[in-house]
Amino acid sequence: MFSERVYGRQVPAASDRSPQRLPRGRHGLPRRFIVHNQRERMLLAVAEAVAEQGYATTTVADIIARARLSRRTFYEHFTDKEECFLAAYDTVVEQMLAGVGKAYEGGGSDWTQRVYDGLEAFIQYLVDEPAFARMCIVEVVAAGPEARGRRDAAMRVFVDFLEPGRAEAPAGVVVPELAADIVVGGIYEIIYTRLLRDSADELLAMLPELVYCALVPFTGHEAARAAVRASEERKARERAAAAAEGDGE
């Protein structure tokens, strides 16, 4: 389901986002390392600036001040703020989808379990990386039609998560054609409103209900409720086993 392109890039976690400034003058580092370091610093800087100030009010001056680079260096990499934002968005979304895809695909043969694990990984990423989350979920809406198009493409990946659920439908039940799109759009809106008011932590508590809402159009009420309960019990066992292993060390 996920291409190599999605898995292909990494960006450091925002919790490690204090890049070291390169020393002035001759430092003996290869140019490709210098260029990569500079670009990475600007991608982190635009994510932080946009998350804190909003896309509309963020300027190139804000980005280069956070990245501790010159305006000339910025324009060697990007033509304007929008191009820098799109590069950061693409990098972060690829990393996020790689993690979500790994969780989804590692969930075994049970589709409902895969949905739970994938959605859990997605929400955990948003909680762990608030600057990236706000950039990719909230501020992307204000960043212009190209950014919104890329947002829509990312959302299609989550639609693909749900399409196999058509095979889970009870006999005689026809799943609406737009079921997966409606579920993804609804969950996106819930996440958007929580991030908008800086309440991402609420999403973790909402995970069982969000998974239920994702499953119920495909499996029906009773099966969706049972699947969520089974996944919650499985996660509890995994946490207990991890805690026991940690105590034994």
The two structure tokens encoding residue 52: 């804190």
DSSP H or E stretch at residue 136: none
DSSP H or E stretch at residue 199: none
Q: How far apart are the first and last CA of the chain?
A: 38
pLDDT recorded at residue 8: 38
> Is the Cβ–Cβ distance between 60 and 80 less than 8 Å?
yes
Instruction: Please state, in angstroms and rounded to a whole number, the distance separating the CA atoms of residues 93 and 88.
Output: 8
Instruction: Please state, in angstroms and rounded to a whole number, the distance separating the CA atoms of residues 235 and 119.
Output: 13
pLDDT recorded at residue 36: 62
Instruction: Please state, in angstroms and rounded to a whole number, the distance separating the CA atoms of residues 179 and 197.
Output: 28
Whether residue 241 has pLDDT greater than 90: no
State the amino acid at position 73 in one-letter form: T
pLDDT recorded at residue 35: 47
> Is the Cβ–Cβ distance between 40 and 12 less than 8 Å?
yes
The alpha carbons of the chain give a radius of gyration, in whole angstroms, of 21
Taking the CB of residue 28, how many other CB atoms lie within 10 A of it? 5
- Count of residues in the chain: 249
Which pLDDT tens digit goes with each residue over 92-129?
Answer: 999 999 999 999 999 788 999 999 999 999 999 999 99
The strand ranges marked E within the chain are none
What the chain holds in terms of domains, given with CATH numbers, is 12-80 (no CATH), 84-248 (1.10.357)
Residue among 185, 58, 204 nearest 128 (CA):
204
Q: pLDDT grade, residue 1 (50/70/90)?
A: very low
- Global pTM reads 0.83
Q: Which segment of 11-20, 57-66, 153-162, 221-230 scores lowest on mean pLDDT? A: 11-20
Q: How many helices (H) and strands (E) does the chain have?
A: 11, 0
Q: Which residue has the higher pLDDT, 109 or 209?
A: 209
Instruction: Please state, in angstroms and rounded to a whole number, the distance separating the CA atoms of residues 48 and 66.
Output: 8
Whether residue 24 has pLDDT greater than 60: no
Instruction: Please state, in angstroms and rounded to a whole number, the distance separating the CA atoms of residues 210 and 196.
Output: 18
- pLDDT > 70: what percent of the chain? 84
pLDDT recorded at residue 3: 38
